[in-house]
A = this chain, B = another copy of it.
């Protein structure tokens, strides 16, 4: 876990979501973005969850990443108590392949958006947080541009191997 005051809060309903959600942390690490990770369950600790969201901005967080599965209420509830952008990661459960998680997160009513990424796509949640932070941070945006250039090189290298 990073030592500087966290810029991004990565939260999830249970530590069993950590195998998914840690990919968000890894992405932030690659960009040198500090973060905290915590279990904040909408249904098991609702008051604490509300408090987490309500205090997120004043505690210095800039972006919140929330992973949840099934009736996935965590991202939307946090978005309702913070003015910060909240990124929702639909965690797939044993049945339904995450379709329930996706709809529960993305179909938010007018007024309270959640920035939703693909089912299980915690890494992309991290990268999306970086893009948001880079809006006013030219250094970070340059890193993102480099990252995209790397993606291209890797894809091209794969193509070269395939063509051989």
Contacts and interface: CB of A to CB of B under 8 A. Distances in A.
Interface of A: 1, 13-15, 18, 36-48, 50, 54, 57, 62-63, 69-73, 76-77, 79-81, 83-87, 92-100, 102-121, 123-125, 127-128, 131-137, 141, 144-145, 147-148, 151-152, 154-156, 158-159, 161-163
Nearest to A104: B104
B158 A118 contact: no
Contacts of A117: 106, 108, 113-116
A11 to B, nearest CB: 9
Nearest to A37: B162
A105 to B, nearest CB: 6
A161 B39 CA distance: 9
Contacts of A144: 83
A151 B113 CA distance: 13
Given A44-B155, A47-B81, A118 B108 contact: yes
Contacts of A1: 163
Given A37-B162, A70-B108, A70-B109, 15 more contacts: A15-B159, A18-B162, A39-B155, A40-B159, A45-B151, A46-B80, A71-B103, A71-B114, A84-B131, A84-B141, A109-B118, A110-B121, A111-B123, A112-B124, A115-B117
Contacts of A94: 120
A161 B18 CA distance: 11
A54 B98 CA distance: 30
